Structure 1
């Protein structure tokens, strides 16, 4: 199993809107691609002096082939929507983890 983890720093002035949009729109759209079979969504708990809050958006795939298919077929479209909706309000880092 592969964990496709997206760590997001969200500026506080759009945090509530972003959370609602993630839960109601973005996560369901990513899951509807069929490339991931499960999702988890966490707020990262730590004291931060920066201007935002940090979240981990986790998608679970059967294998690396599904992750690569998502990247090639859907990532650019989904990323463009995120950037258009929340311009310069998010810092995003993607990490891939393999279950051992």
Structure 2
């Protein structure tokens, strides 16, 4: 059974800090936690060419009903024309952790 919790994946340029955005997401209750994973390389097609860039991956722990506000906040702050925003359902998890998430998402 799927829970109401989601992990939102969002890439961010390697040469810019996402920490201000991550802090705002947690402070506002749109996310319980944001992990910043540095040092990834993305290979993708953009404007009819294959591109390769250094990026960081944001793993944003949230609830499904918070995603519209989360998307709005990310789109406002993100430097990309088309940022990656992909939500993945959390099928199950440690009950105490999920309870903690619930208490920290408004």
Determine if the alignment matches structure 1 residue 7 to structure 2 residue 10: yes
Larger RCO (CA within 8 A; separation ≥ 6): 1
Tell me, yes or no, if the aligned pair for 1:7 and 1:54 is still in contact at 8 Å: no
1:87, 1:47 → 2: CA distance?
Answer: 14
Structure whose alpha-carbon radius of gyration is higher: 2
Counterpart of 2:24 in structure 1 is 29
1:71, 1:98 → 2: CA distance?
Answer: 14
Tell me, yes or no, if the aligned pair for 1:3 and 1:97 is still in contact at 8 Å: yes
2:38, 2:25 → 1: CA distance?
Answer: 19
Gaps of 5+ in 2: 44-49, 93-106
1:47, 1:78 → 2: CA distance?
Answer: 19
Shift of 1:40: 1.1
Q: Which has the higher strand share?
A: 2
Q: CA RMSD in A?
A: 3.0
Gaps of 5+ in 1: none
Counterpart of 1:79 in structure 2 is 75
TM-score (norm. length: structure 1) = 0.57
Shift of 1:74: 4.5
Counterpart of 2:88 in structure 1 is 96
Count of residue pairs the alignment pairs up: 83
Counterpart of 2:104 in structure 1 is none
Tell me, yes or no, if the aligned pair for 1:8 and 1:55 is still in contact at 8 Å: yes
SS at match of 2:51: coil
